[in-house]
Amino acid sequence: PIPLLIDTDTAADDCFALLVGLLDPRADLLAITMVAGNVGFDQQVDNAFLTVGLAGRLGEVPVHLGARDPLVRPWLSASDVHGDGVGGLKRPDDGHAPSDEDAVDAMIRLAKEHKGELSIVAIGPLTNIALAVQKDPEFVANVGSLYVMGGSINARGNITPAAEYNIYVDPEAADIVFSAGFADVVVISWDPLTITDAVFDQERIDRIAALDTTLSRFFVRANQATFDFDSRVGIGGSSHCDSLTALLALDRSLATAESRYRLEVETEGTRTRGATVFDWQSDDNNVTAIEKVDGERFFDYMLTLLGTEPAA
Ligand code: BDR
Ligand code: CA
């Protein structure tokens, strides 16, 4: 199995990225690290524990707490899109607590222990990853692959017209991460190309609901707020770019088109803060951007995943 770490701002689709890591036998999920993002930090931690519990893996995969704020800017909520991120479900009194080890330290340690092998799946703002880059000069060389959900190749954002949330919230962190020199950075961006393949319309949601498992009910409920929001803004269903990113870390053959780019982040712009500039003419490429995926295969995978009943 692939040694995996998921860095997450757990709400809605992040929960299902965690389930990919927790339940897919191709993954050896070593840690979940929490970063400030979509909804309040403590709510996100509860959402992560709720998800680990539903996967029947409490006590097996540690949850580490990381940055509660972006590097230099104030935190920005996206609760208007996600609600509480789990559709009002409450974490049961499971008796489990986060690890005493800080998220950034855990990340640094695991990269060292699995030198050249660890895949990090980053599906929130890049604050923790940037802090690890700054703290350990060997971190970058130790990481095998870094999968980032963020940015927009066609300059089509979600939090602003020009910027995608994960990058917009902490553009300085994103700048540090993309300039750091990681050997293998794979970007799954918020673009028509990528999100179209990861959008679940009402018919797909109905097929998931019909599975009538604990996980399928969780899926419908936790993604209802994003479904409503994304439908209102014309996306036609809920988008599942985080779970897609986790799955790509286990199976790159899901990508049917990808290109190398030099990716730079706009940290200053008045209208374009957090925009990702993908230079297709550079001789100094730093990322591979996924441009098309097999959306049917992704949906079928999620149907199978959500159709299982993990032992509690
Ligand atoms: C990102 O923010 C959230 O909506 C998703 O979890 C994803 O990580 C998309 O902008
Ligand atoms: Ca996320």
Q: What is the pLDDT of residue 80?
A: 85
Q: Which atom of ligand 1 is nearest to the CA of 241?
A: 7
Sign of CA pseudo-dihedral 211, 233, 295, 263: negative
Give the residues of the chain that fall short of pLDDT 50. none
241 Cβ closer than 6 Å to some ligand 1 atom: yes
Q: Please, what's the largest Cα pairwise distance for the chain?
A: 54
Q: What is the pLDDT of residue 196?
A: 84
Q: What is the pLDDT of residue 195?
A: 82
Query: Which of 34, 121, 158, 189 to mutate to test ligand 1, by most ligand atoms within 8 A of the CB atom?
Result: 158
123 Cβ closer than 6 Å to some ligand 1 atom: yes
Q: What is the pLDDT of residue 65?
A: 98
Question: Which of 246, 250, 261, 247 lies closest to 291 in space, CA to CA?
Answer: 261
Q: pTM for the whole thing?
A: 0.98
35 Cβ closer than 6 Å to some ligand 1 atom: no
* Ligand closest to the CA atom of residue 225: 1
Name which residue sits closest to atom 9 of ligand 1, judged by CA: 165
Residue 121: what residue type? Answer: V
Q: Is the ipTM here above 0.90?
A: yes
Q: 238 forms bridges with which residues in the sheet?
A: 200
- Show Cβ contacts of residue 308 under 8 Å, excluding neighbours closer than 6 positions: 23, 213, 215
